[in-house]
Structure 1
Amino acid sequence: MKKMMIFFAWMLAACPMAVLGQTHYLESLTLENSKVEKVGRSVRVSVDIRLDAVELNRQQTLRLVPVLVSADGSQQMELKPVVLEGKVRNKVIERKIALGAISEEEGLVRIKRQNGKPQTVDYTTEVPFNRWMVNGRLELRGYVTGCAECSEGDEMLTTGGILPYQDPVLAVSPFVQPEEEEVKRRSEVKMARLEYPVNGYNVLPNFRKNSAELDSVQHSLETVKENLNLTVTGIYITGYASPEGTAAYNLHLSQQRAETFAAYVQKQNPELKKELWHVSWKGEDWDGFVAQVAQAEGWPARAKVQEAIAQCNDNIDACEWKIRQQLSSDDYRYLIDELYAPLRRNEYRIEYNVRSFDLEEAKEMLKTRPDLLSVAEIQRVADSYGRNSDGYRKALDVAVRIYPDNLAARNNAALAAVETEHYAEAIDLLKNARDGASLNLLGVAYWKSGQADKAEETFARAVEAGYGDAGGNLKQLQEAKALFSE
């Protein structure tokens, strides 16, 4: 009991009075070489805390706690603390530790302050990275306690922002001016499936369904002839035969049928000059026959016929005869009527030139015959509605539909989709892109839609294709991925 009385008396002498109220120790600190950086999946905080100007009351403890705080202040993480102890307070703590009354706090940096002398704390710690830390801040909080463990004031010092980040400013592939068509050449390819008696080749308008077929051919020609915007430049007729009979015989038969068909149609259209007509023939359409068999999924003999075709060895006549011998009468009749019939035909292609249209004419043509407009004419219509307006985007969508392989049409439609935040549309437009500019634009669409991995892969492909701006986009994307990876 006497020893305890002496101890308490010594404590009272050492701590005669608690100093209450706000303290001002943090303003005496000097922070040097402060750094907060992401290392792998951790955040490393390092700073040199200079204590030279701190005059710490000998009975007080200053607990310094660095704190990472989110940008909106909703989340925070306290880091390893640093404890500065006045001369007397340090002796008390050391005594308690020696007596086993308390134990050292794990991870604690505890320092006895030597007032009037230079002291520096080389502070370093690492904590797991969390996304909320990006664009946050580092605060240094000070908690002062006296000899009786009473709070004697709190302080806070904001040391600055941490892990700064801005969304990448990606280089977007530019608008592409479509090339003008000096001469707008167009064509229409159609088929005339006329029926003939066995081995016949003359055109018989009243035979079976020939009348309707010939009317369709004439209607196609009249449509072109009557359109004052068009000038017919050529009519190309090609004759085909089915495989029954020898290849030599069928080549001659396809010639006769093509020539008589051309002569018949020519007679119906005498105003079309003879030099516009061009006739050729191909004989048996064997590739067409193979395709017909592949599509005949419900035909019981299909597998047998396909096996025979696979063993043809380029001798078409022998193969056709083998197939005929293997089939029942019903299956052969199906072959003749259903699979061979579509192969007996004449294809005809009408080629014509289209005149140019001014803006108002082009607007009307876009509604009725957009196929007669060039990509450049459609672009002028789009421009007249204002960049990225509904009219602009709809016009460019028509351009892509009519000219799916035109890079300018596809690029400009995709660019409009990106600029109006229709990223899925842009991705669909560019998913088969091969050139560097289109791949770069596709990468932008992927990134904007939150598909970072696909964006990175696509930018890399654009770089390989020689598109320089994609390299900067790739670098920004990789830096962003590295910052946010957990």
Structure 2
Amino acid sequence: MKRINDIQAWMGAAALCLSSCPLSAQQVVPTGEPVLSWQDSTQLKVAFSVAAGDVEITSDDRLILTPRLTTKAGDTLTLPPVELAGKRNRRYFDRRAALRGEERVAVAAAADTLYYNKVVGVEPWMRASALSLTVDCEFENCCDVRPLAALDLGATRWFTPKPKAVMPVLSVAEQIAVREPVLKPISEYKPYTRDIPLRKMKDALYVHFPVGKWDLREDFRDNEATLARIVDMMRRVKDDKTSSIVKVVIVGLASIEGSVAFNEHLAGRRAEVLKDYLDARVDMPDDVYEVVGAGEAWADLRDVIAESDLDERQELLQIIDNTPDENLREQRIRKLNGGRPYQYLKQSVFADQRNSGYIRAYYEAVPDKGAEAINRAVALVREGRDAEAVTLLEPLADERKWNTLGVAYFKTGHRAEAVECFERAVKAGDSEAAGNLEGVRAVEGR
């Protein structure tokens, strides 16, 4: 009879327990905006608040909430659980934890809002891809443990803003030099020597003269266009405040026809006439001009012959290389093979040697110090020397600095200053900063 009574008592208790179990679909509800905020690359703040919603929690029940950070690849970091618990349930588990010497999880009353706030250590895999925050919910009473719908509370991703080098602002001379190779920086200047074949100087400008004359005619060959180019370049650079012409090299030449003495004089006068032409149109100091009377164009002639397929090529080269006297050298070439090679050279080569040689201009430009400083800071950031980059950029009066300064601020833990810098950079039209601002705001949980 006693056994029957025990069974009846057990069944009554079970029935009572089952009657208290919620039967309808139930849902825990978040009560505020969750926060996933990276403190730095090693710490992530996780904060949220929830309430029981329509989950009915009696005195003997509890709701166990377990936050998890997960990636799509399945990596998971399980955070310490928290509870919403009824009074008797809470007393029971408090006593049990005390008797066992265990640490009790955070517990809120069943009707309260539960606030979760924890800074967790970041493992390397957590920086590699997006992290989702979910909260697993379990309802537990005297009879069983039942899962409820999990809460998806948002996602975050670690973001490292990137600096970007800036293009220096080019002076007028530097802009012209991109299109006109005749204009060179003064660092590339080398004095002219007579062994240089000017025909190989493809980046020079040439002005031509009639045979045996130093009259500079704009209507001769392509002189008009050539002279207009050099004058225009010199004028534009002269009007620029960030660059200047510091040297104009004019090399006067003559063909080998005639006496050496006359050709030396002719080449010198051609160079002087060209210098006078430029000086009359562009007001430049005299010491800018380097005027060289280079005499007869033997280096050019030898170069032409060496590349030719003339039958007498070797004999011509031997005459040029082994006859120091230039007058005698010309005579021997005239007589070679009845004058046939000389006539060919006269018709095909000498006409191009009757010119003032080459003109090349050299410039100095004021360097873009702002760009230099910013790009130095970019290099410092990439080397991990972020504090040095901040020190370099803070006093710089240049609106192009804001993106790189924002990166340096972010990496040194100055988040608010970083956001302000990125906002200023975006306002100035910096597309790189727009991506950095969006990424930083996501990291901040905004």
Global fold match (TM > 0.5): no
TM-score, with length taken from structure 1: 0.42
